[in-house]
Amino acid sequence: MNNQNTSQGQRVIVANTEGGVGMAAAAQVLMAGGRGLDAIEAGIRPVELDPTVRSVGVGGWPNLLGEVELDALIMDGRSLKSGAVGALQGFLHPISVARQVMEQLPHVFLVGEGAARFAAEIGAEAGENRTDESRQQWAEWLARYVPADLIAAWPNVPLAPWARLTADPERAGGTTTFLVRDANADIAAGTSTCGWAMKYPGRLGDSPVIGAGGYADNRYGAAACTGHGELSIRAGTARSVVLYMKMGMTVQEACHEAADDLRRLVREFPAALTIHAIDASGAAYVVAIGKEPGTGWYWYWAEGMPSAEKRDAVEMQW
Ligand code: ASP
């Protein structure tokens, strides 16, 4: 695997580790002259349908109630328009619902029942995101951690004590993030996730929060985060990276500055956060903070490459 890329002025896709299954579709859109926003959707939709990606869409980890609540955002760096959905249940493609929030509504963010209502109104694909495997793992998790008398009363018990267990990095996270620069030099960002495994119902991470989990501005670049989203919400990480580039930093410097902001946050559990970023020319930089050494990598494709390849992230400890 190569290290960071500094290719200039071309069609580029940067996706996180979970994005592999969507890279070819996203690249195809760009090579056909399509828009970055369409490439984002084309790239994320296959990830949402892949049951082996346990942190996104079908097969995603359930919350404490055994429900799969999905979050997504999309942002257009040309218009600075964005759309997002949070805690959406019963639909297969939160990224496409987020896109339509952006295209059709005077709002930028819908959650819960309102998001599901809107998804139904626009004819979004309804479907079951739980799989036999995820149902079984939820039941096994309960049996492992929760006393039998509480399981018998579940979910009519206080859930808060059990939400803390979701901070276990072994099972906490995952998301897919795509950053794209198209043939018009338009930049876009997209994310999709089920959030933390066994999260408290209604919990939103950074992934649907514009400025935390993703941000794009044609003039400077784009950023998207994976990992413990509570941290990037608190630090406004994706927006910070783009703002630091506006202030004159390179994409690398901007990521390091944002990592420095994250380090100032008081953390109550072991946490990791990966920042993916591109600048306006498409130069990419990815930094993984607090991950197991050797586990930080991402997908990279630029025009001229026959297919996407894995690249090493720069790794940092807290
Ligand atoms: N950032 C996501 C969240 O906090 C999870 C992850 O990417 O690991 O919901």
pLDDT digits (tens, 9 = 90+) for 279-289: 999 999 999 99
18, pLDDT greater than 90: yes
Catalytic residue, candidates 166, 175, 176, 177? 175
Atom of ligand 1 nearest to the CA of 174: 8
Residue 297 pairs in a beta bridge with 312
* Number of structural domains found in the chain: 1
2, pLDDT greater than 50: no
- 237 an active-site residue? no
For ligand 1, the distance from its centroid to the CA atom of residue 166, given in whole angstroms, is 11
Is 290 part of a structural domain of the chain?
A: yes
Is 81 part of a structural domain of the chain?
A: yes
Ligand 1 atom 4 nearest Cα: 229
Is 257 part of a structural domain of the chain?
A: yes
Is 3 part of a structural domain of the chain?
A: no
169, pLDDT greater than 60: no
Atom of ligand 1 nearest to the CA of 194: 9
* Helix axis angle, 237-246 to 251-263, nearest 10°: 140
Is 200 part of a structural domain of the chain?
A: yes
Is 5 part of a structural domain of the chain?
A: no
Residue 291 CA to residue 259 CA, distance in Å, equals 13
pLDDT confidence of residue 174: 78
Q: What is the mean pLDDT of residues 211-239?
A: 97
Nearest to 88 by CA among 129, 55, 122, 139: 129
pLDDT confidence of residue 6: 42
Atom of ligand 1 nearest to the CA of 172: 8
7, pLDDT greater than 80: no
Q: What is the mean pLDDT of residues 309-318?
A: 96
Residue 128 CA to residue 115 CA, distance in Å, equals 16
- Residue ranges making up the domain that contains 234: 12-316
Question: Is residue 94 within 8 Å of 49, Cβ to Cβ?
Answer: no
9, pLDDT greater than 70: no
Is 227 part of a structural domain of the chain?
A: yes
Structure tokens at 2: 């190569």
Report the pocket of ligand 1 as residue ranges, CB < 6 Å.
Answer: 173-175, 193, 195-196, 205-207, 226-229
Is 2 part of a structural domain of the chain?
A: no
For ligand 1, the distance from its centroid to the CA atom of residue 149, given in whole angstroms, is 31
Are β-strands 297-302 and 309-312 bridged in parallel, bridged antiparallel, or unpaired? antiparallel
For ligand 1, the distance from its centroid to the CA atom of residue 116, given in whole angstroms, is 21
Atom of ligand 1 nearest to the CA of 204: 9
Give the domain CATH number at 138: 3.60.20.30
Residue 315 pairs in a beta bridge with 288
pLDDT confidence of residue 3: 41
pTM, rounded to two decimals: 0.95
For ligand 1, the distance from its centroid to the CA atom of residue 173, given in whole angstroms, is 5
Task: Label residue 171 by pLDDT band (50, 70, 90).
Answer: low
Ligand 1 atom 9 nearest Cα: 195
For ligand 1, the distance from its centroid to the CA atom of residue 234, given in whole angstroms, is 13
| Mean pLDDT of the residues in the chain | 93
